[in-house]
Every structure is written in structure tokens, then in C-alpha cells.
């Protein structure tokens, strides 16, 4: 399963027509200890770039944006009780939502792992 990234530090993996979305390990390191996560409502229709979730850490509050257009078909309810999952396992157990993909061509606009690594190295 390949992983893609946005310049806003979201990651996305795809299985069939369902995309799982979270934030990158780089992003959680920048945020520090995550203390609260607000996930989207089930069934919510998102356009690419819409606010998908809100994260609050000891340092700041931050938005997570939808990397693609689609409908929210699952949310990670574990984050309500354990927002620290984002710090512990940002790119697996710390996922935010699953989105039914409306336009798979939007995935072509995202970075692969090598491009994202190069992008984040340029930020330091």
C-alpha cells in the first residue's frame, strides 16, 4: 500500500475507493504532545482542502485538511479518549478519518514518500 503526502503534512493511503487520512510523523513532532483531536462527522461531504479535523497540542491548535474530495465513511473514535495516539503512531493507529474517494485523479497531485522527505528537509 503506497502512502502519499500533502504540503500541509497530511498522509493518505488508499485501499480500493477508500482513503485513510492522518498527519505525518513530521507534523506530530512539530506539534508536540497532542491533547485533543476533533474528528469529522460521519457522512460529511468534503471538498479537497476543507477542514477535516482539529488537533490541539500543548503548543498550538492546528487544522487538518482533506487531501481529496469525498465522503467521510469512518472516523477514528479512539482519538477522543487517546489523542496521544497521534504522537505514538501518527502514520497508523493515529489516523483521523476514512474517505470514499470521488475523484482518484486528485491522488496524482500528492507527493510520494521520497518527495515528501525532500520537502520536509527543505523546511528546517
Note whether residue 123 is domain-resident.
Answer: no
Q: What is the pTM of this model?
A: 0.95
Is there a domain that residue 124 lies in? Answer: no
Give the integer Cα–Cα distance in Å for 91 and 22: 7
Task: For residue 85, give every residue at least 6 positions away whose Cβ sits within 8 Å of its Cβ, in sequence order, or none.
Answer: 76, 78, 79, 93, 94
Residue 124 pLDDT greater than 80, yes or no: no
Domain membership flag for residue 23: yes
What pLDDT is recorded for position 1? 66
Question: 76-83: long-range contacts at Cβ-Cβ below 8 A with a sequence spacing of 24 or more?
Answer: 76/39, 77/39, 79/37, 79/39, 80/37, 80/39, 83/34, 83/35, 83/36, 83/37, 83/55, 83/56
> What pLDDT does 49 receive?
96
User: Residue 112, class by beta-carbon neighbours within 10 Å (0-12 exposed, 13-18 middle, 19+ buried)?
Assistant: exposed
pLDDT greater than 90 at residue 11 = yes
**pLDDT tens figures, 18-66:** 999 999 999 999 999 999 999 999 999 999 999 999 999 999 999 999 9
Tell me what pLDDT residue 36 has: 97
In a domain, 86, yes or no: yes
83 assigned to some structural domain: yes
Q: 90 and 25 in contact (C-beta within 8 Å)? A: yes
Q: Distance between CA 29 and CA 9 in Å, rounded?
A: 11
- Structural domain harbouring 73: 3-103+111-118
The count of structural domains within the chain is: 1
pLDDT at 17: 96
Give the CATH number for residue 30.
2.40.50.100
Per-residue confidence (pLDDT) for residue 2, from 0 to 100: 87
Q: What is the pLDDT of residues 63-112, one digit of tens each?
A: 999 999 999 999 999 999 999 999 999 999 999 999 999 999 999 999 99
Amino acid at each position: 500500500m503506497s502512502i502519499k503526502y500533502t504540503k500541509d503534512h497530511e498522509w493518505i493511503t488508499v485501499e480500493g475507493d477508500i482513503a485513510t487520512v492522518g498527519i505525518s510523523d513530521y507534523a506530530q513532532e512539530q506539534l508536540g504532545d497532542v491533547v485533543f483531536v476533533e474528528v469529522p462527522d460521519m457522512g460529511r461531504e468534503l471538498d479537497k482542502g476543507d477542514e477535516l479535523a482539529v488537533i490541539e497540542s500543548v503548543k498550538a491548535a492546528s487544522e487538518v485538511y482533506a487531501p481529496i474530495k469525498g465522503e467521510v465513511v469512518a472516523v477514528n473514535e479512539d482519538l477522543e479518549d487517546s489523542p496521544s495516539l497521534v504522537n505514538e503512531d501518527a502514520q497508523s493507529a493515529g489516523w483521523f478519518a476514512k474517505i470514499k474517494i470521488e475523484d482518484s485523479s486528485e491522488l496524482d497531485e500528492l507527493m510520494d514518500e521520497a518527495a515528501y522527505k525532500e520537502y520536509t528537509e527543505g523546511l528546517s
